[in-house]
Chains A and B, each alone.
Chain A
């Protein structure tokens, strides 16, 4: 049997939207001659459809629409003729920066915009060359528009009529390809609906949990309650008597129950009798973690940023001092973790809602001892990701069970498994202090952070001098010109895994930074917006978003009685966001009326996508700010479902106003930038409302 691209998802969008999941019977070579595919990313067929191959996982962020727009822009075809298809794991689709296929950190847009534009432009150049050859004219004298080449004498040819000839021409060197100048953009910067829109309204979109393959059994794994603990013994006698339960056996993460359907597997788990062995988190509680961190931030940490001698200035002055704390948070995407695996002697096939197909492939290869090339990954739609699905634990579970069971397995976690076995957003402790100059501006500033490192688990080699920079975004990367600054960091060594979340630690750090800046502004007797602007370079991108948000929210103008505004701003990569919250309190309960955000994500590609993502990220931040917390007792997470880990409902969803800066700076992802400012903007609004300074999250706990 040849090992090639075997099974994959095909999505067609827009007009004829439908989605099929199937076994590709014809090998890709059989398609040659029928399609024009000068570069791996683009396939054009004689029926006029262009298929863009997607290396990036679609988890709601509409990256598949954005990347397809970039190809269509340079290719010069109508967007209504463009579809996308999830790419198999293949080095051809590896990211030029990360050298893998993974989706996270808002990196898809910045890293792939040049790639997709070049892909579209290369295909276009070859079609133009084909037209020019047909008419015996110089390609430079030909133009294109909406899938038609026009020659110098007004000759026209549809792209589809030129595909066969184009396929015989040499692929031009990338250096010879000229991209469109922005004045000629037809798609970039416009408003396009999602390509996956229709399948997501009629139940036909296929998520990981929907996969069904011949001979498949269902499985679920009973896991230890204590994080890092193990199941010592298990008695499966009762479970094996449950209707539909086929087998019960141990796998590395717990006790697997294989059954005829998901529910039978869940029921089998309930019937298991298990005993536990405690692990490294025995005795670990929220109090013990934070107690340790509170001591750490009293001491000097590893230096993240140092400008002048802030420590001496603060020691010699009368500093404003405040400590902030944020809780651990779960991701809780709507689709519980799952993967379908078919482990054979010579190959593994995965169907997974993964954010990281190459990592899923590597995990399966490691477990089975097979080479990477023998692991085929079909990336399905993801029912939310938020960083959770960049992990491989749920993939490994499926591979282990299928390997032992000898049949294809759909492995499904319960919601309880998801909330309790999450690489959480780390809880954080912050000690801040500042002294003021005579004019009220900050003279010296110090921020000492303690949190658990993500990289310590995922990429230990990236930790330099005790610093994980990934968890320090939102601390020293602000826009404020402060003469003396010290940001230092303590790596909090707790054996509870922490992971990437939506704008992971930027959220926690921005809550501390921007709440404290607000405290300082009030201590200096200044308006919080004006105070920030007084420390930001005039005319900068940072200043622009703050000014625009303030104007849009009518900052400083009278609000309805009992309402107040709060502001926060943050950097996200090279982009900026400013958020203004309008809140009121009634009978001790916080009501969020409106969130206004101005975002600069560089050159905006799909306005509609950004307008979806910014409120989306703000709602995610709002759930966390209001009620989000995971607590621990004896190493056991104390929350388990949406009842005790509540998230925002429609009734509590405020009005959103989103302002997108139009510029030609390098484009960036917009899926995370909305999140970081929500909590500090709310806390600052509460202070403006009633003078109560909230320094711990979630806000509803602090207000109770």
Chain B
């Protein structure tokens, strides 16, 4: 049994210690907002926060998340009180297919928590999540809007 804290809720999961956090979140806990994209931490679709830090959950064993606070897109903000990054995403009409957006939003939220006024270079270096629809210009605009530097 692995004990995980996800979105402020404690879960006892009967999963192998080496199971990547992504699959524990998606298939076992049933929170599907966090996506599977590549399985090798190359695309960022699976990004969640572990103790507030953006982490690619597809390669992080659940054992490594024990005793830490895991936050997924579902736990970023109440659904009727979206996070400023989500508000900016709506204002900028960012998503297209939308599949990568949970990961993009979680990465951006962690960036702004750490650097409330990021430079373009900060954004470029941090936002390495892949978007095949090419939402990059709007993602960048939305991050700046959320940071109040647009």
Contact = CB atoms under 8 A, between A and B. Distances in A.
Contacts of A478: none
Nearest to B102: A203
A267 to B, nearest CB: 9
Contacts of B116: none
B94 interface: yes
B134 A618 contact: yes
Contacts of B15: 261
26 contacts: A60-B95, A61-B96, A62-B96, A197-B93, A201-B82, A202-B86, A203-B33, A203-B74, A212-B30, A262-B23, A262-B36, A266-B39, A333-B132, A334-B37, A334-B43, A335-B35, A384-B97, A385-B97, A415-B39, A415-B40, A612-B96, A622-B134, A623-B132, A641-B40, A641-B42, A642-B42
A207 interface: yes
B93 A612 contact: yes
A615 interface: yes
B54 interface: no
Given A261-B27, A647-B130, A650-B128, A201 B95 contact: yes
B27 A218 contact: yes
A609 to B, nearest CB: 9
Given A202-B79, A218-B27, A334 B130 contact: yes
Contacts of A673: none
Contact of A650 (B30, B45, B96, B123): B123
Interface centre among A333, A334, A623, A641 (most CB of B within 10 A): A334
A210 interface: yes
A351 to B, nearest CB: 13
A701 B39 CA distance: 27
A620 B36 contact: no
Contacts of A204: 33, 79
Contacts of A67: none
B6 interface: no
B32 A210 contact: yes
A334 B45 contact: yes
Given A381-B98, A649-B128, A202 B73 contact: yes
* Chain B contact residues: helix, strand, loop or mixed: loop
Contacts of B32: 203, 206, 209-210, 212
B90 interface: yes
A642 B35 contact: no
B133 A60 contact: yes
A383 B35 contact: yes
A386 B132 contact: yes
Interface in A285-310: none
A200 interface: yes
Given A386-B132, A642-B42, A209 B35 contact: yes
B99 A207 contact: yes
B70 interface: no
A643 interface: yes
Contacts of A412: 36
Interface string B18-32: 011011001110111
Interface string A646-660: 011111010110000
Interface in A31-72: 58-62
Listed residue (A59, A243, A616) with the most chain B CB atoms within 10 angstroms of its CB:
A616
B93 to A, nearest CB: 5
Interface of A: 58-62, 193-194, 196-207, 209-210, 212, 218, 243, 260-263, 266, 332-336, 381-386, 412, 414-416, 608, 612-613, 615-620, 622-623, 641-643, 647-651, 653, 655-656
B51 interface: no
Interface string B72-96: 1110100100100010011001111
Contact of A201 (B105, B129, B130): B105
A381 B132 CA distance: 15
Contacts of B139: 650
A60 B86 CA distance: 18
B27 to A, nearest CB: 4
Contacts of B76: 202
Contacts of A615: 134, 137
Contact of A383 (B90, B94, B99, B138): B99
Chain A CB within 10 A, most for which of B98, B127, B136: B98
B40 A656 contact: no
B147 to A, nearest CB: 15
B34 to A, nearest CB: 7
Contacts of A61: 96
Given A335-B35, A642-B42, A650-B124, A616 B134 contact: yes
Contact of A653 (B30, B86, B96, B134): B134
B82 to A, nearest CB: 7
A81 B89 CA distance: 22
Contacts of A641: 38-40, 42
B137 A201 contact: no
A651 B99 contact: no
A218 B23 CA distance: 12
A336 B37 contact: yes
A248 to B, nearest CB: 18
B125 interface: yes
A198 B90 contact: yes
A289 to B, nearest CB: 26
Contacts of A622: 134
Given A202-B73, A202-B86, A335 B134 contact: no
A65 B40 CA distance: 34
B67 interface: no
Interface in B35-61: 35-40, 42-43, 45
Contacts of A60: 95-98, 133
Given A60-B95, A62-B96, A412-B36, 15 more contacts: A59-B97, A201-B86, A203-B32, A207-B99, A332-B132, A333-B132, A334-B35, A334-B43, A335-B37, A415-B40, A618-B134, A642-B40, A650-B124, A653-B134, A653-B137
A642 B43 contact: yes
A383 B96 CA distance: 9
B132 A263 contact: no
A197 B95 contact: yes
Nearest to B134: A619
A205 B98 contact: yes
A620 B132 contact: yes
B4 interface: no
B100 interface: yes
Interface centre among A206, A263, A643 (most CB of B within 10 A): A263
B97 A382 contact: yes
A643 B101 CA distance: 20
Contacts of B138: 612
A608 B95 CA distance: 12
Contacts of A620: 132-134
A268 B123 CA distance: 39
B6 to A, nearest CB: 13
Contacts of B19: 261, 263
Nearest to A608: B93
Contacts of A62: 96
The 6 lowest CB-CB distance pairs between A and B, nearest first, are A203-B33, A619-B134, A383-B99, A200-B98, A60-B97, A60-B96
